[in-house]
């Protein structure tokens, strides 16, 4: 199908406060709700990381209010080793599922995908509303684990069996807290599947006249490819979580082997395989990396083209590379299991596609750098965070070459080297994409401009701070510093304590710098300068709406017609050096 043949009006405008702001069917409101939920989740996760970092360097320092939250896990405010693992579990789960999946994909995708393809709304508005509120319920279930008697789970965000499957015998948090974790992720999978189906149907069926697939912006392609990845990935994780819950509460033995003795208690299970959980989880888990990073790649590419005022060397090559990454992401899950007793030949088989997946990523990086060379780049907060994304993506990605080799990964796998790698290439890089998208699209979402000086200050403090946090992790890993340790009692770890202190100071500094962003976000929303209709002189359809924010049906009842590809920059036209997609004017023609 080259373009949509009809425009479908799904529902009328809201008439009550509840329908407009709470249980809204409007994709723009739902996008903002996802963004707000991601903000709450990211600051919750950041506070948890602060507590962990403080405990690592000052293990006997009481942390205010923590004792009230968990008298058993933090008596007198001092974190126990088990509670440290619980904090790590909750931090990882919040960040991976409720921040890195929600913000770049669900939040911005919900808001801008329909507008960028000329649609009035998503294909299934009620599914869209259900998707957000199901995600919210999943978030509440997860956070509830903090308040149950045995506390939150300590099995890590991957929740490896049998630790996560046997119940309270495994330790604090492995009772009700772990069950809540499994239920939360199960519910989150349902929400993600609803969202993925909606994105795919919207992209294929609701494009406006003239909007062929080839004319979609890179970021719209990124959301579409991500939704295809998510549809398969979450369809595997959802039944895996159900089987895990059944092992815990129904006496089944999917992931628990026979003869397992934990805490002097022989487990009443037989025939299960802990490796089955690892296979199911990582079949989801590695595509999840690209569910987080591909939308950020699309956002950054979209912004850089606008800031360079010229097309990429080949924006279609970037789209093909994202397709290749999406396909290869399902062939590399075994590299997370090199230490699981895997046959060395199987490890070699998984090593090859792991190295191959770097090829499209490298091609994209070379296209970005080649396009930037010689360009008259407009420097603003959005373009700075886009450049910062490339830096983080490359710096974190280079360390992946080491981990793709089974012989090297065996030494580095359980160390801080891996923590530094995935935080930079998946976590910080994706969040930089979210920051770039926020500064770029804030005028369209609110009708006001964010403060540019505060935005640039926010970038430099965050950019420097994140490098100070995560680059030393690689050195710690090479020195043999095992991750998940809550204290450095081994003699060989004692010399590394000063590095951990430096990282902790950097983490506190960088986290505090995010308050600048929050202030800028809130203040600009209320009192920021009124935004022009097209402040960045951009070309895609979101800047063709009659107002900012767009009206209820996005285009005020006038369906746009697309005449050009999305990146007509560096041309002569009546508007300057760009030509909008919905303009019938041809490049070089002036009235």
In order of their start, the domains of the chain are 25-255 (1.20.210.10), 292-529 (1.20.210.10), 531-591 (no CATH)
d(CA 324, CA 359): 9
Give, in order, the Cα–Cα distances in Å from 64 to each of 51, 77, 79. Answer: 10, 6, 11
- Tell me the whole-structure pTM to 2 decimals: 0.95
Give, in order, the Cα–Cα distances in Å from 549 to each of 9, 22, 104, 518. Answer: 20, 18, 19, 20
d(CA 182, CA 178): 6
Is the CA virtual torsion 11, 15, 17, 18 positive or negative? Answer: negative
Query: DSSP character for 531?
Result: P
Strand partners, 415: 482
Burial, 214: exposed, middle or buried (Cβ in 10 Å; 0-12, 13-18, 19+)?
Answer: exposed
Q: Which two tokens stand for residue 443?
A: 């005028």
Specify the pairing of strand 568-573 against strand 576-579: antiparallel
- So what's the pLDDT on residue 588? 58
- What stretch of H or E contains 376? none
Angle at 293 between CA 43 and CA 327, to 5 degrees: 145
Residue ranges in the chain whose pLDDT is less than 50: 1-6, 590-591
Q: Which two tokens stand for residue 524?
A: 């600009």
Q: Which two tokens stand for residue 169?
A: 């015998």
d(CA 63, CA 78): 6
- So what's the pLDDT on residue 210? 94
d(CA 54, CA 435): 26
Q: What's the N-to-C CA distance of the chain in angstroms? A: 35
Nearest to 399 by CA among 413, 420, 415: 420
Strand partners, 530: 448
- So what's the pLDDT on residue 157? 95
Residue 110 near residue 95, CB atoms below 8 Å:
no
d(CA 282, CA 158): 9
Dihedral pair phi/psi, residue 516, rounded to 5°:
-60, -45
3-state secondary structure of 373: coil
Dihedral pair phi/psi, residue 542, rounded to 5°:
-65, -20
- So what's the pLDDT on residue 127? 93
Specify the pairing of strand 576-579 against strand 261-262: unpaired
- Match 């804030």 to its residue by tokens: 442
Angle at 121 between CA 118 and CA 124, to 5 degrees: 130
Query: DSSP character for 20?
Result: I
């Amino acid at each position: 199908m080259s373009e949509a043949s009809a425009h479908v009006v799904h529902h009328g405008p809201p008439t009550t406060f509840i329908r407009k702001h709470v249980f809204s069917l409007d994709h723009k409101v739902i996008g903002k709700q996802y963004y707000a939920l991601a903000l709450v989740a990211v600051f919750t996760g950041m506070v948890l990381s602060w507590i962990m970092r403080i405990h690592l360097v000052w293990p006997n320092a009481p942390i205010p209010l923590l004792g009230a939250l968990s008298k058993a896990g933090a008596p007198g405010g001092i974190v126990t080793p088990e509670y440290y693992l619980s904090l790590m579990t909750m931090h990882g789960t919040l960040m991976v599922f409720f921040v890195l999946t929600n913000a770049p994909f669900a939040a911005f995708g919900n808001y801008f995908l329909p507008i960028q393809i000329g649609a009035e709304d998503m294909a299934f508005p009620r599914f869209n509303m259900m998707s957000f509120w199901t995600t919210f319920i999943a978030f509440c279930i997860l956070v509830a684990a903090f308040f149950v008697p045995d506390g939150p789970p300590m099995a890590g965000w991957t929740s490896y069996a049998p630790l996560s499957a046997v119940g309270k015998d495994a330790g604090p948090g492995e009772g009700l807290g772990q069950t809540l974790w499994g239920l939360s992720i199960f519910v989150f999978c349902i929400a993600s599947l609803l969202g993925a189906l909606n994105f795919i149907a919207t992209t294929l069926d609701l494009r406006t006249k003239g909007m062929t697939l080839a004319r979609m912006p890179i970021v719209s392609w990124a959301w579409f490819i991500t939704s295809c990845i998510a549809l398969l990935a979450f369809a595997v994780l959802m039944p895996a979580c159900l089987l895990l819950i059944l092992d815990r509460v129904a006496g089944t033995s999917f992931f628990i082997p026979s003869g397992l003795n934990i805490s002097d208690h022989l487990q009443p299970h037989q025939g299960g395989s802990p490796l089955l959980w690892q296979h199911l989880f990582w079949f989801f888990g590695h595509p999840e990396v690209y569910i987080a990073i591909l939308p950020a790649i699309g956002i950054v590419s979209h912004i850089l083209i606008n800031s360079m005022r010229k097309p990429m060397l080949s924006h279609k090559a970037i789209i093909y590379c994202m397709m290749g990454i999406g396909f290869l992401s399902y062939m590399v899950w075994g590299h997370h299991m090199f230490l699981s007793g895997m046959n060395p030949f199987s490890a070699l088989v998984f090593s090859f596609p792991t190295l191959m997946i770097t090829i499209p990523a490298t091609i994209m990086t070379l296209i970005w750098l080649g396009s930037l060379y010689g360009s008259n780049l407009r420097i603003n907060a959005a373009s700075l965070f886009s450049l910062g994304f490339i830096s983080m993506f490359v710096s974190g990605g280079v360390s992946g070459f080491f981990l793709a080799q089974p012989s090297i990964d065996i030494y580095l796998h359980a160390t801080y080297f891996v923590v530094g790698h995935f935080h930079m290439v998946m976590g910080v890089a994706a969040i930089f994409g979210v920051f770039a998208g926020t500064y770029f699209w804030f005028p369209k979402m609110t009708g006001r401009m964010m403060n540019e000086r505060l935005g640039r200050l926010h970038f430099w403090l965050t950019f420097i701070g994140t490098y100070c946090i995560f680059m030393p992790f690689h050195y710690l890993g090479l020195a043999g510093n095992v991750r998940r340790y809550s204290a450095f009692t081994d003699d060989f770890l004692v010399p590394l304590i000063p590095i951990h202190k430096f990282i902790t100071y950097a983490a506190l500094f960088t986290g505090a710098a995010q308050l600048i962003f929050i202030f800028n976000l809130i203040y600009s929303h209320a009192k920021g300068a009124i935004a022009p209709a097209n402040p960045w002189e951009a070309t895609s359809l979101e800047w063709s709406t009659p107002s900012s924010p767009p009206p209820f049906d996005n285009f005020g009842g006038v369906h746009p017609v697309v005449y050009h590809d999305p990146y007509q920059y560096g041309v002569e036209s009546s508007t300057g050096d760009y030509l909008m997609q919905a303009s019938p004017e041809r490049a070089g023609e002036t009235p």
